[in-house]
Structure 1
């Protein structure tokens, strides 16, 4: 799995790590059931602290994209390719809305049909 971070990206590093893994899954580099390299290996490859990588991995676990299994490491969850793509689209929507002056609460109100 080849991951890269963009030095010009203003997002926190852990979000960039999570985004890079999401992209790898969405582009088919990682399939459901595949094991990810250990966090220490990923941190060395990306040039960031291992805790930064772990924070990104926990974010993806909380989104249902990754599974942490004792003794088996971190694996890509079933259906992660679809969830990963959807999460990227939602994040892009939120970023675009913020540039246009909308808050997350505004977006939620639009989705719920209150606006």
Structure 2
């Protein structure tokens, strides 16, 4: 980002850095389980103070994208495990109900066809098997 573009951006520096890190995580630049660069390296990369880099990473943590561990740093969370269990249960229940209705319909159609086949076979004197 150019110096003039930065001066026009009214967001605090920590928010700008956090937003960029979020975009990079969402673009899979940092895979789940990967560590973000150390704070000092982030500060150098974004040309901000180390405290600003720390604040930015905390914003990314607050967005649920990383965990911060003492002496380890910030690691990207595996969000594939973030599942709305109640929502999933409801969706599966609805799918089961839909399948039962479809199975009942197909079973009735099959029974009708089998009865028709038996009647036609009886009329023609042929074996249905």
Scaled by the length of structure 2, what TM-score is found? 0.54
Q: How does 1:58-77 map to 2 (within 5 A)?
A: 58-77=58-77
RMSD of aligned alpha carbons: 2.1
Gaps in structure 2 of 5+ consecutive residues = 83-129
Count of residues in correspondence between the two structures: 78
Scaled by the length of structure 1, what TM-score is found? 0.61
Between structures 1 and 2, the one with greater helix share: 2
Runs of 4+ residues over 3 Å off in structure 1: none
2:38 matched residue in structure 1: 38
1:9 matched residue in structure 2: 9
Gaps in structure 1 of 5+ consecutive residues = 83-115
> Cα deviation per residue 1:32-73 (whole Å; 9 max; x = unaligned)?
101011101110111111111111111111221110122322
Q: How does 1:1-115 map to 2 (within 5 A)?
A: 7=6, 8-79=8-79
Relative contact order higher in (CA < 8 Å, ≥ 6 apart) = 1
Rounded to whole Å, the distance in 1 between the matches of 2:30 and 2:50 is 21
1:107 matched residue in structure 2: none
